[in-house]
Amino acid sequence: MNSKEKFNRELPEAAYIGLFHREKLSELLHQNSWISASDKIVLVEKPGEGNMNFVVRVKTSSTSIIIKQSRPWVEKYPQISAPADRIAVEAEFYNALSRDNFFGQYCPKMIGFDKKNYLLALEDLGEGSDCTYLYQKKSKLEDNDLIHLVRFISHLHNSSISAPNKFPENADLKKLNHTHIFYYPFEKDNGFDLDTMQPGLQEVSIPYKTNSLLKEKVKHLGEVYLQTHNTLIHGDYYPGSWLKAKSGIKVIDPEFAHFGKAEFDIGVMMAHLKMAQVGRGLLKKALELYQRPQGFDNQLFLGFCGVEIMRRIIGLAQLPLDLSLDEKTDLLDFATQLITTKKDFILS
């Protein structure tokens, strides 16, 4: 049974929407009072390429909103099953952030949540693009954008807007993420031929997949990741979750949010800045600006950073990295040292 058949079998009452299901979408918007009774849909379009969820921009005669629906598969990889109720985590994240006016400048306002149909309605932040353009060598990360990205994650990690016992555990999605971050990339025979991404990458990956010390360290990091901790984290803080809008930098797609380790979020962020080759100056500035919460573990940060680099190069969740095979090998060596020897991040 494929994931889409599973959706129809296990969730028969959920209203499945698609890009061309305008009539059903209109019915759901009116049922939830997300648009007025007299409002009519004039356009439905994709605002960008979604990874986890189905996302559309709905323009009506009077407004424009973003509608997201989670299904029991990963939207970008339909062959991978995923917990359909992950959209409830995203809804609770936005709900928690609404208690602190600071976050209003960075995140879309939540218009409503339809639990039965796994639907989330959000403020439309307007035309924009995610920040995956940063992976191209001629791109540039603006200083002001970096400042806002660090300011957001610092404030989140030091906030008290929610508590572990009041926020969804998100255990199923964490387990899925754990498999693709800490396990799958380090298995020699995982069924994914890296040469389809870049010739020669499969052979390059073998020494890391057979490094027993590295795999032992990665396993421990994965165990830490799966545990519940005391900090609300975004859970997927990378350029695909950063929106460059006309009104400034925004943060979206928090479906992986949970109470975990701040070191994971900032480790992921710094890993992607490193892969985007933003330069030592900006890397140093980011770490200087970041406000570490009490008990921050620098060694844990280095480990999470290293794992994120490795899984993005030799795992399934590939990025549009503008890097040669030699450059990727250098990054894999760098990441290995971060994990196993705790090499200094900036001086590396």
Q: Give 165-176 pLDDT, tens digit per residue.
A: 999 999 999 999
| Listed residue (102, 89, 101) closest to 155, CA to CA | 102
| Listed residue (290, 280, 236) closest to 258, CA to CA | 236
Helices (H) and strands (E) in the chain, counts: 11, 10
pLDDT by residue (tens digit) across 24-60?
889 999 999 999 999 999 999 988 777 789 899 999 9
Residue 310 DSSP symbol: H
Q: Is 347 domain-assigned?
A: no
Q: Is 348 domain-assigned?
A: no
Alpha-carbon distance of 275 to 308, in angstroms, equals 10
> Residue 51: what pLDDT?
78
Q: Which of 69, 99, 123 is the last residue of a domain?
A: 123
Is the domain of 206 the same as that of 329? yes
- What's the chain's average pLDDT? 91
> Residue 7: what pLDDT?
47
Phi (first) and psi of residue 150, to 5 degrees: -75, -35
Is the domain of 207 the same as that of 222? yes
- Across the range 137-151, mean pLDDT stands at 95
Is the domain of 161 the same as that of 272? yes
> Residue 195: what pLDDT?
96
pLDDT band at 1 (very low <50, low <70, confident <90, very high): very low
Is the domain of 315 the same as that of 207? yes
pLDDT band at 283 (very low <50, low <70, confident <90, very high): very high
| Listed residue (147, 146, 90) closest to 122, CA to CA | 90
Is the domain of 135 the same as that of 253? yes
Number of domains in the chain: 2
List the domain range (segments joined by +) for residue 334.
Answer: 128-340
Q: Which of 64, 94, 123 is the last residue of a domain?
A: 123
The alpha carbon of 292 is separated from its chain's Cα centroid by a whole number of angstroms, namely: 21
CATH number, domain at 41?
3.30.200.20
Q: Is 241 domain-assigned?
A: yes
Alpha-carbon distance of 18 to 7, in angstroms, equals 14
Is the domain of 105 the same as that of 215? no
The total number of residues written for the chain in this structure:
348
Is the domain of 112 the same as that of 178? no
* One-letter amino acid for residue 294 of the chain: Q
pLDDT by residue (tens digit) across 89-120?
999 999 999 999 999 999 999 999 999 999 99
For 11, other C-beta atoms within 10 Å of its C-beta total 17
Alpha-carbon distance of 40 to 47, in angstroms, equals 19
pLDDT band at 191 (very low <50, low <70, confident <90, very high): confident
> Residue 9: what pLDDT?
44
Q: Which of 123, 139, 172 is the last residue of a domain?
A: 123
> Residue 12: what pLDDT?
46
